[in-house]
Structure 1
Amino acid sequence: MDFKASSEKTATKHSMLVCCKLYISESRNFLALDSIEQAANLNRETVIINKFKDSAYNRVRYTLVSYVVHGNGNGETYSPLQEAVLAMVEAAYGSINLELHSGAHPRLGVVDHICFHPLAQASLDEAARVAKMVAADIGNKFEVPVFLYEAAHPNGKALDTIRRELGYFQPNFMDNQWAGWALPEILVEKPDEGPTNVARARGIVVIGASPWVTTFNVPLVTSDVSAARRIARMSSARGGGLPGVQTLALVHGEESMEIACMLLDPNLVGADRVQSQVERLAAEEGMDVEKGYFTDFSPEMIFEIYMKLVSSG
């Protein structure tokens, strides 16, 4: 084999990458997580770059990366991510029952949220194509309602808009927790894929594609839920705070809250500005703030880790 030709082919193949973030409503059931990860490992062309789990939230996020090919002879888009994600989804539905789930983070389903982001030279359109293929598979194969957002949605509907319409942000247990399925079993809004009726053990899933979103959490030393919610609201774009920032105040253990932040344009407003804003508002409430933390790697670091793993076989 021509080594130079092989190297060039490999470089071209891995210049078009898509990152998938898969959020599953479970972090305490280690057998369930093990089965989900084993399902992912069956696909040798998809790499799990990161795993972030939180016991208080009872939630885990897997960050996966693989290549994407568009127009490979028949005009169709192909990515190994599709097969890997579906295998993980099947394992999750086979080992987790939403009716038995509880945690301090909102969720709509066992597989709660799947988002796709372009990396390297891939385009947002290619990430959206993969998102829509995965959505169709989940809706048809598992008969789970799927709602699409942003680049994967025909009209670019925003993720937070869909979540508000579905009651995502309303705790249903102890005023600040989420437990079981407490929404209607027949959806008022028609999903983009799958049935309008909801299986209580699985719930629904929201799937989309977007430019990179940075997730950043700021811990507060307090049990005052009302004050934490005021800080979250005044830190967000929706509350007149920082542009491109979405926030949520969540209980995170005893005497502890977190301002969970999504930075939709991290180049415009970064984590330092969010930290400063939260610290200023918290000082007005007379509470202490700890140093915030990122919940995932940067896209540059994810790309670097992926390429190292691929080159090492």
Structure 2
Amino acid sequence: MADRPLLLAAPNVSEGRDNAAIESIARSFGAARVLDVHSDADHGRSVLTLAAAQGELADGLVEGGRAVLERVDLRRHEGVHPHVGALDVAPIVYLSGSERGAACAEALTAAGRIGGELGVPVFLYGQLATDPSHTERARLRAGGLAGLRARMDQGELAPDFGPPTADEGAGATLVTARAPLVAFNLDLVTDDVEVARRIAAELRESAGGPHGVRAIGLSLPARGCAQVSFNVHDPLSTTLAELVTAVGARAAVARAELVGLA
């Protein structure tokens, strides 16, 4: 045990409204300790932060993933966050470079077991992507689950693990190993989602925006506002203060929100 590094995981579950289901899922990750649960009804999503030793973390993700499939059916999903699976993403997070190899190994173990034991197609993304077009999650999520299923059925996409087709209720799971990132949301005063989408498009790294920034614009009907939702992959290079300033120069900001711990 002492020789196995402590790793984190940040499974994203496509359920943000059913508190009983979320609480049941959160109790289902075996020996992995649940550090945080962040649920959002508008997003239709819960982000959990787990910690466990190498070996125990993959076990926990499989056990938790089984609970997710029992409690979450995408045919009844409500929420605006892009997704392709009930257990939508399951990144393994390393806190230092010395743990990167262990995290990659744990992610591959978890991916193989989710595909084999739970019968869910698994796509590797980020630094574990086996296809360069799978590096960014957005490419895999294009068209949502319906689009992913169509591309799989047409032979355009093949999962790295698990069955060659995706069930309508369970979908697929995306797995990687990565360093910590910051998931950060800014609610705007306006409810005009096109304003949020324009700002997100301008601030993405892929469009010439700050380094390491991924962004989408969303409408949050329960809150009555639009939101710019960020993943900041290098928060030491691009600070949250810079993003608040950049968004504030384009639209009035009502509130800020951090999501998860890793």
Would you say same fold, with TM above 0.5? Answer: yes
CA 1:121–1:227 in structure 2 vs 1: closer, same or farther (change >3 Å)? closer
Q: Secondary structure at the match of 1:124?
A: helix
Q: Answer yes or no: is the 8 Å Cα contact 2:197–2:216 preserved in 1.
A: yes
Aligned position for 2:26: 37
Higher relative contact order (CA 8 A, sep 6+): 2
TM-score by length of 2: 0.90
Task: Name the structure 2 match of 1:247.
Answer: 215
Count of paired positions? 257
Q: Which runs of 5+ in 1 are unaligned?
A: 1-9, 69-78, 171-180, 283-287, 300-313
1:188-227 correspondence runs (5 A) = 188-227=156-195
Who is 2:260 aligned against?
Answer: 296
1:26-175 matched pairs, under 5 angstroms: 26-40=15-29, 42-43=30-31, 46-68=32-54, 79-119=55-95, 122-154=98-130, 159-160=135-136, 162-167=137-142
In 1, Cα distance between equivalents of 2:17 and 2:43: 10
**Aligned structure 1 segments of 4 or more residues deviating by more than 6 angstroms:** none
Contact conserved, 1:185 with 1:200, CA < 8 A, in 2?
A: no
TM-score, normalising length: structure 1: 0.76
Across the aligned residues of Structure 1 and Structure 2, the Cα RMSD in angstroms comes to: 2.1
| Aligned counterparts of 1:124 and 1:220: Cα–Cα separation in 2 | 37
Q: CA offsets per residue over residues 228-269 of structure 1, 9 Å max, x none?
A: 111111112122221211101111235301111111111110
Aligned counterpart, 1:267: 236
Is this contact kept in 2: 1:232–1:259, CA < 8 A? yes
Q: Deviations over 1:162-190 (max 9, x none)?
A: 4324415x6xxxxxxxxxx5333560211
Q: Specify the structure having the higher radius of gyration (Cα).
A: 1
Q: CA offsets per residue over residues 176-234 of structure 1, 9 Å max, x none?
A: xxxxx533356021111112211111011100011221111111111212121111111
Deviates most, 23-32 or 264-273: 23-32
Segments of structure 2 that go 5 or more residues without pairing to the other structure are none
Q: Distance in 2 between matches of 1:117 and 1:58?
A: 23
- In the aligned structure 1, how far is the partner of 2:186 from the partner of 2:204? 13
Q: Hey, what's the Cα distance between the residues in 1 that align with 2:37 and 2:44?
A: 13
Question: Deviation of residue 119 (structure 1)?
Answer: 2.5
User: In 2, distance between residues paired with 1:116 and 1:167?
Assistant: 23
SS of equivalent residue, structure 1 residue 19: strand
Say if 1:249 and 1:258, in contact at 8 Å, map to a contact too.
yes
